[in-house]
Amino acid sequence: MKAFVLRWKTIILAFLLILALFIMAESGFQIRAFAQERYADLQNFTKVLNLVEQYYVEEVDTKKLIYGAIKGMLRELDPHTNFMSPEIFKDFETETTGEFGGLGIEISVQNGVLTIISPIEDTPAWEAGIKAGDKVIAVDGHSTKGLSLVEASQLMRGKLGSKVILRIVRESEEEPKDITIVRGSVKIKSVKYTDLGDAYGYIKITSFIEKTSKDLEKTIEAHLKNNKKIDGLIIDMRRNPGGLLDQAVKVSDMFLKEGAIVSTIGRNKKEKEVSSATKKGKYTDFPLIILVNEYTASASEIVSGALQDNKRALIVGQRTFGKGSVQSVVKLGDGSGLKLTVARYYTPNGISIQAEGIRPDIEIEDVDPEAFAKSVLKSKITREKDIAGHLRGDREKDTEKAQKKLDLTPKETNNALAWWKEVGNKKDENLSPREKLFKNDYQVYQAFSYLKAWKTLQVLAR
């Protein structure tokens, strides 16, 4: 019996050994086939490089050709994956401390065109009149066509106090225009506050820098001290280009009792890194509205998604930008560097932020006060045009076209009328800080209306 069992064990072991050898051979064949295919591709590259070096009409810089080849390869990937020459990478490592001046803008490449995601408030670019959505077609006369993000950033950098001229194309204007910006030390105040009265507060987060979460906590504590309570907050992250991930996580954590905040997933879908609330959130029991728009990006989208999916806040405004990718920086042997996209960000509900953005719970289109006054505001005097069924005049038809251009629904038009009657047509010197804010910002006015009506919106907030 023992001999019989031993014989079967030997047979099974031999079978497993043969199977393992077969699998290894098959894998080896696949690896060899892959290597041969890769080698053939590299042979083509080497052959072209040799031909250029030997027969091109002028002598060439081989390193320049190789760097160009790497850049060309990376252009097949996303715009945030870039190669940096040793000179550029050195500046990237040291940033701009003391020696260089900044502009204070977040840029991206959209459809091959260098585009301003957002100028950061109170920075040189903001003060010079740069706007979100501006297309930068030249920097100091040098075309930006074909430039990577790091190359464009390098072109814009310079000594503190020096000038740079950006030629921009703006959607509302027919001709390109030159805007001169004096490079300055970019000191960002990332948290700004306005008391809205009755224990309500408005807080604007312009970007996520090292002190954002601490400054936000100080601001909320000051509001609580002055008002004895918090009946509701509006946190405005419109035109916020993002910043530090850890600050986005800390800000989200302040308003959450529990739950995931953001997850990061790379090529291997099974490997997931999750950042969760620490259960130390201090501000979890009052109404919260997050205001966003199409220039809300990156870290600010992470906060919006975390608070939306955890049913902690109502997201109001317009769909966000959709920058939800993670970059890793690798220093190469010759001092050059590679900035490589390695993962995507996902909201707690598993929704990818990348290219999708955060969809608001309530959409509010922006309204320009001057355009509204010219095209929407109706006269208080009853005239022919106020009579039902009247024959429309040419100007009235133009007004209707303007309304369509502003994309105002009848309900939004009525809301805008209420806004205009309350603060829009008043002079600034007669307005409180709250009213000045409402006069110049229809979306904030509307967000405040929703905040005051929170009880009726609790179903949406959940």
**pLDDT tens track for 203-247:** 999 999 889 999 999 999 999 999 999 999 999 999 998 888 999
Residue 273 in contact with residue 263, Cβ under 8 Å?
yes
Residue with tokens 């405040």: 448
Residue from 134, 215, 236, 309 carrying the catalytic annotation: 309
How far apart are alpha carbons 329 and 387 in whole angstroms? Answer: 67
Considering the segment(s) 82-182 as one domain, its CATH architecture is: Roll (2.30)
Contacts for 428-434 with beta carbons within 8 Å, 24 or more apart? Answer: 433/194, 433/195, 434/194, 434/195, 434/196, 434/197, 434/202
> What pLDDT is attached to residue 318?
95
Q: Which two tokens stand for residue 312?
A: 């902690």
How far apart are alpha carbons 429 and 437 in whole angstroms? Answer: 13
Residue 216 in contact with residue 254, Cβ under 8 Å?
yes
pTM for the full predicted model? 0.77
Q: Is 194 left (phi over 0), alpha (psi -120 to 50) or beta?
A: beta
Q: How does pLDDT run across 23-47, given as a tens digit for each residue?
A: 555 555 455 555 566 677 788 888 9
Cα–Cα distances in Å, from 211 out to 141, 218, 261, 275?
Answer: 37, 11, 19, 19
| CATH domain 191-326+342-363 topology | 2-enoyl-CoA Hydratase; Chain A, domain 1 (3.90.226)
Residue 230 in contact with residue 288, Cβ under 8 Å?
no
Q: Establish whether 190 is a catalytic residue.
A: no
> What pLDDT is attached to residue 35?
56
Helix (H, G, I), strand (E, B) or coil at 147: coil
Least Cα distance to 121 among 131, 135, 108, 136 occurs for 131
What number of CA atoms fall less than 13 Å from residue 321's CA on the CB side? 28
pLDDT-flagged residues of the chain (< 50): 2, 4-6, 8-9, 12, 29, 96-100, 378-383, 395, 399, 402-410, 459-461
Residue from 118, 298, 300, 336 carrying the catalytic annotation: 298
Q: Establish whether 298 is a catalytic residue.
A: yes
How far apart are alpha carbons 19 and 239 in whole angstroms? Answer: 60
Least Cα distance to 347 among 317, 293, 295, 309 occurs for 309
Pairing of strands 82-84, 100-101: unpaired
Which helix (H) or strand (E) segment holds residue 373: the answer is helix 369-375
Residue 193's DSSP bridge partners are 203
- Supply the DSSP symbol for 53: H
Q: Is 23 left (phi over 0), alpha (psi -120 to 50) or beta?
A: alpha
Q: Establish whether 153 is a catalytic residue.
A: no
Q: Which two tokens stand for residue 26?
A: 């098959």
Residue from 250, 323, 339, 439 carrying the catalytic annotation: 323
What residue segments make up the domains of the chain, in order of their start? 82-182, 191-326+342-363, 369-461
